[in-house]
Structure 1
Amino acid sequence: MALDIHRQIPASFERVQRSEYGYNAKQVDQFLQRARVSLESPHDAAEPINSSDVRAVSFDPVKGGYSAAVVDAALDRLEDAFARRERDELIAASGEEAWLREIGKLSGILRGRLHRHDGERFRRPAKNKARSYNTADVDRLCHELVAYLEHDKPLSVDSVRRAVFRPETGRDGYEEAQVDAFLDRVIELMAAID
């Protein structure tokens, strides 16, 4: 099933001022070309891309590059398109029950961490000077996620993608890498559900 990538990604992006930093335009364009092939003709893709690849992609900062906010918004739409296709392919190949089992398994893993006590959901950095996330900010988002998953409270996947936590230093906060990895899985689940 081919999806119209032109509805997901504009032909070109606005650039920031020459003195400001944005995303490397060549890297963005190359990635999006690979994404176009993967989305429109997946069997022709030399290097197939999936929703997790879109979520994980990063670009070098360069002066006068593409506006990060505009590219990020387009990548979010692209990730959602890949997630919908992946869901549809799983359902077509294995049935809706298989998709529901996958969703249930991932949801169960995430809920295990979400139900931990405030201040205990994630590791603390091993190094005293390491950057970390404010525990109260992360815990607040975790409460919203529990309400979304268990009580059908509205929460958009974009609000999780754009979550910002106040910085902490060392053991005063949660380890950034672990929180980021967890939120990637949350986004994966929400994109598959919505």
Structure 2
Amino acid sequence: MKKILGLLLSITLASAFADSTTDTTDAASALPVYINVNTGIAKLYNLPTGEWIGNINAGYNFNSYFALEGGYNLIAGSEYGVTTTTNILDVAAKGTLPLSDIFSLYGRAGLGYGMNGWSGTVNYSPTCSLCDTGVNSNYGLALVGLGVSFSFDKHFDLRVEDTAYIPFSNTYTGSINAVTGGVQYNF
């Protein structure tokens, strides 16, 4: 799966750098700034259940194939009888492969900063990852995502994305896989 993600992202990034022409009718050039809001479910690999995720991203399209974006992600749920939250700030490069006027595939790769927290009283058990004092609450991470975008008009898109967040250190969440859906507004 990682090789496929890498290949798709490499192809879209190569296309972005190979295109030296500008098309003034191009939607990405005409409306380069965008914001999207998404919601879905996330699987935190060191915790037993899935959790809700919501995120917001703002970005700039340099052309139809390449954009840079920054985002905020909130992952919240209930584990071991306590409330858990994960906040992630990220910056990513986004490569897009337009397949038609309304359908595009895209890949994202970037870096982020994660902050974990929980509130409540935990009863100790050997399987309780929240009870482990050797984990980091604040950490760096990498993100890799693949998605599809359906354009309704030049301003609105629907999107579905699968994103992996891979921490650089030991955290109580472990790696995170999130499947989200949402809307994008292009200005």
Give the TM-score band, short-chain normalised. under 0.3
Name the TM-score, length of structure 1 as normaliser.
0.25
Structure with greater helix percent: 1
TM-score (norm 2): 0.26
Name whichever structure is richer in strand by fraction. Answer: 2
